[in-house]
Structure 1
Amino acid sequence: MKKSLIVILVLLAVATFSTGVMAQRYVVGTNASFPPFEYVEDGEIVGFDIDLVKEIAKLQGFEVEVRDISFDSLIPGLASGSLDMVAAGMTITADREKVIDFSDPYYSANQSVLVHEESDANLTVLFGNHDVGVQTGTTGDTWVRDNLLEDEILTGELRNYDSYVFVIRDLANGNIDAAVLDKPVAETYSQNNPVNVVAEIITGEEYGIAVGEGNEELLAEINAGLEKVKNNGTMEKLIQKYFE
């Protein structure tokens, strides 16, 4: 009787393993201050990118664990192996592609300039002695440095922040004159804060999901899932949910 019980338990264990309970789990890094792509709601990390990566995981048969960390720690996290992928509205750039690999693009965006709602400033707020806020490590940060600071078009202070929440807070409190950030995120912040979008900078950026350099297997899984999401109508539903 005992021998039969042991055999049954072994068979159950084998069956449980074969059903996929032990599915591969990947750690996804994000920076949850980038609405509507990623933000915290009722204590949970949600948003366009989060829904997208979860849908890819479901279609490809793996699981994901989402971690919220500072934006400038995301690429080092991939390099160290503490993160398997990054879904954080991250723009595909040549510099980033030197150290990490990107999926096929899934969203296109430009940069926007925000000022306080009581300000009369326009795009010229980026010229001369004005203080401008950006999130550290973002393409907005790089654009201001490369196009304004190096040529001394902007002679005021470029202030770096760990999170866009702090950028918008300082702008709303009048501590900086302007902020530069991705257009869809700028529009989201302008709906609930005393700030206005006054200009769009055409940068033609494309977002991709990032993985560690050389991780071709995971990249293939992500790209296959992206293709399915685009073809089965889920991508259009996510766009309608978060941007329309």
Structure 2
Amino acid sequence: MKMIKKLALGVVCALSLAGAAQAQDTKTLNVATDATFPPFEYFDNNVRTGFDVEMVEALAAKMGRQVNWTQIDFKGLIPGLVAKRFDVAVSAIYITDERKKVVDFTNSYYPGGLVVLGKADDASITGPEDLKGKKVSVQVGTKSVAYLKEHYPEAQLVEVEKNEEMFNLLLTGRVDAAVTGKPAALLFASKNDAVHVLPKQVTTEEYGIAVRKDLADLTAELNAALDAIKADGTYDALVSKWFGGVK
């Protein structure tokens, strides 16, 4: 009996020490993303890359940390933070009041907004007000879904899991338009003459890094690192590389 108690005590102590060691580990930045959204994050020959990816790597370097990436569907990013599966989520996430109820955000790191991506030969859609009765592809879990349901309820939304599915539906004519973030839409349109970005923007938004609410110190640390890469020119170099210097 004494031996069993000693063994049990040893297990409890070992687990306590392991937990303490994990809590004190400040060398790893656990980051989740949905790498299907160029130019922000995507895989190129099985290598994760994009503006968000390189920016986070630069932030981590300033913080003296290594990045541990988790690939997850966009709709699981905020719930994953709430469940403490990871510490940070970066995936062209708009800062919204609804999301701020359950997670914290860093300062905005890039301006964005929703735009309509339409067919180049379709003159019937000149702005978001023309989406009434049209089939519109959107990525599930994004602001596009909630915004269109609230402001353009007569648009027929076709919700898909991945960004490329949304674009492919438009290219193949199965939907009339797509609504997504401006940088991604411009990049896609620049490579596909069959589509174009409508000049009238749907919304104006700000992208931010989402952080667990119980990690206020980490949010402050990320903000300090963001200021640092802006001061030393790293940020401008990334904007130039991925967005042609537009910010």
Please report the TM-score for the alignment, with normalisation by the length of structure 2.
Answer: 0.84
Matches within 5 A, 1:54-203: 54-120=57-123, 121-123=125-127, 126-149=130-153, 154=154, 156-193=155-192, 194-203=194-203
SS of alignment partner, residue 52 of structure 1: helix
Alpha carbons of structure 1 residues 202 and 123: separation in structure 2 relative to 1, 3 Å:
closer
**1:9 paired residue number:** none
Letter in 1 for 2:232: N
C-alpha distance in 1, partners of 2:31/2:167? 26
**Mapped partners of 1:196, 1:221: distance in 2:** 39
Root mean square deviation of aligned Cα: 1.6
Unmatched 5+ residue regions in structure 2?
Answer: 1-24
Secondary structure in 2 matching 1:203: coil
**Do the aligned partners of residues 96 and 90 (structure 1) sit closer, same or farther apart at CA in structure 2, a change above 3 Å counting?**
same
2:91 alignment partner AA: A
CA distance in 2, matches of 1:23, 1:101: 19
**Equivalent position of 1:43 in the other structure:** 46
The residue matched to 1:175 in structure 2 has which SS?
coil
Q: CA 1:200–1:39 in 2, change beyond 3 Å: closer, same or farther? A: farther
Tell me the percent identity.
33
Letter in structure 2 aligned against 1:143: Y
* Cα contact 1:25–1:65 (8 A) shared by 2: yes
**What is the distance in 2 between the residues matched to 1:125 and 1:131?**
13
* Higher deviation after alignment, 172-181 or 203-212: 203-212
1:23–1:217 CA distance, 2 compared to 1 (3 A): closer
For these two proteins, the number of residue pairs brought into alignment is: 218
Deviations 1:40-92 (A, max 9, x none): 10101100010111001001111112222111000111111112101111110
Normalising by structure 1, we get a TM-score of: 0.85
Letter in 2 for 1:133: S
Q: Which amino acid aligns with 2:181?
A: D
1:236: which partner in 2? Answer: 236
